[in-house]
Chain A
Amino acid sequence: MSHDHDHHHHHDNELDPFAARVRALETILTQKGLIDPAAVDAIVDTYETKVGPRNGAKVVAKAWSDPAYADWLKRDATAAIASLGFVGRQGEHMQAVFNTPDTHNMIVCTLCSCYPWPVLGLPPVWYKAPPYRSRAVIDPRGVLAEFGVTLPADMKVRVWDSTAELRYLVVPMRPEGADGLGEDQLAELVTRDSMIGTGLARQPA
């Protein structure tokens, strides 16, 4: 038997140690009648299929298309976003922050992983990991460079650290040359990263 036996020996009924730990915990809680595995399935299904950054893209596209909606979104993002049906956990209190020719906005949670779930879904791994959380507040331009984004040297950079239960959504600038596009087409230009502030909206094809 080779010395690396443990690393190459997998059967269907074997789990890596952490997967086994999570399965054991779910088993214990289920045996005690504390959780319903079907409820766990339903939670997972919600964030796999129903809630994600396409929701936020609809908000942004509407703000780009409809000045009255943009104004509402600026004044009361929670209500304006709820009017499109995007509500709930980790989006109970919302603030939209609008990029301008002078100011680029970027969102971080240095203390944990606060993120606006109803409009962006679950956060990507990098958003929750130490490199982003440590550097976004001290070196946002260096972080942006790692996303392939270079801002003009004199542009102001505003970083919002989500230290309370207020969740932020960046409204990126509407790209040039998007005149005449409908909301659905505009939404295609709105990336997840552009709504975190680590990206810009796509240019129309």
Chain B
Amino acid sequence: MNGPQDLGGQMGFGPVAPEKDEPIFHAEWEKRALGVTLAAGAFGAWNIDESRHARETLPPAEYYTSSYYQIWIKGLETLLQRHGFVSAADLAAGKAVDGTAPPKRVLKAADVAATLARGGPCDRPMETPARFKAGDRVRTKNFNPTGHTRLPRYARAKNGLVEAVREGYVFPDSNAHQKGEVPQWLYTVVFDGPEIWGEGADPTLTVSIDAWESYLEQA
């Protein structure tokens, strides 16, 4: 969706302002936000694509005035309610009032190290050969889906070069909506700066994205 998360090339947000000797966390609650978010992921009710989509469907004014851990928690509240783990009454009371859907798993402290080390690989075997090969000229699709996508607006309807054929990867545009993983070949596609940004673009710039096969057409 053309939501607030799709930031490439937007203007007006000011300087980057890196913080010197930045701490890992800026408040105790950020630690809990990280830990609770990851622990809730272990329920097995949603996937990383659905959680990204829950964050990017925050209204733009709210997204841009929230810190990233705030965005995580707001997204998590959406997911927990959608999947029946937490109710509006629970949240209003600040304590458990209603029951819960059954989780597939509850993450125990003893399993944290192994769970984090395992991660969530999203490469999948492919039964069909890759349509494109390194060196192919391609054009990205022009579309404006209302659901989740990982093709940024700045890279739509642009001519690029396939630099690398990766593997079959879970397709986020489907997976985010519980419509299956339907893996597709993934490609690294590189664009010249002027192709993306036009007049006044930095001539020394190239930008690449990782694009699923259905995002691409033969140029």
Interface positions of A (Cβ within 8 A of B): 15, 18-29, 31-36, 38-44, 46-48, 52, 87-93, 110-113, 121-122, 124-126, 128-141, 143, 146-147, 153-166, 193, 198
Contacts and interface: CB of A to CB of B under 8 A. Distances in A.
A22 B33 CA distance: 6
B126 interface: no
B135 to A, nearest CB: 17
Contacts of A18: 29, 70, 73
B202 interface: yes
B46 interface: no
A88 B119 contact: yes
Nearest to B102: A34
Given A26-B36, A141-B202, A159-B208, A146 B15 contact: yes
Contacts of B95: 24, 27-28, 31
Contact of B38 (A43, A134, A157, A158): A43
Nearest to A128: B68
A35 B36 contact: yes
Interface in B115-152: 116-123, 150-152
A56 B169 CA distance: 25
Given A29-B85, A34-B43, A110-B6, A147 B205 contact: no
B5 to A, nearest CB: 5
Q: Which 5 A-B pairs have the closest CB atoms?
A: A40-B35, A110-B8, A164-B210, A31-B96, A38-B109
Contact of B151 (A46, A88, A130, A163): A163
Contacts of A126: 16-19
Contact of A164 (B26, B43, B99, B186): B186
Contacts, number: 262
Contact of B205 (A89, A92, A134, A140): A140
A201 to B, nearest CB: 17
A23 B36 CA distance: 10
Interface string B198-211: 00011011111111
B204 A156 contact: yes
A41 B35 contact: yes
Given A39-B39, A155-B204, A158-B208, A28 B33 contact: no
Given A88-B118, A157-B204, A163-B151, A44 B18 contact: no
B113 A40 contact: no
Interface in B1-51: 5-11, 13-19, 22, 24-29, 31-36, 38-40, 43, 48
A146 B16 contact: yes
Most central of A19, A26, A34 by chain B CB within 10 Å: A34
Nearest to A85: B117
Contact of A133 (B7, B188, B212): B7
B100 to A, nearest CB: 5
10 contacts: A25-B73, A25-B91, A34-B100, A110-B6, A111-B8, A132-B16, A146-B15, A146-B16, A146-B18, A164-B210
Nearest to B114: A88
Nearest to A33: B106
Contacts of B34: 43-44, 47, 122
A85 B71 CA distance: 31
B86 interface: yes
A61 B166 CA distance: 26
B76 interface: yes
A20 B17 CA distance: 28
A19 B207 contact: no
B116 A163 contact: no
A114 B154 CA distance: 18
B10 A134 contact: yes
Residue of A138, A146, A158 contacting most chain B CB atoms (<10 Å)? A138
Given A122-B24, A156-B206, A164-B169, A36 B7 contact: no
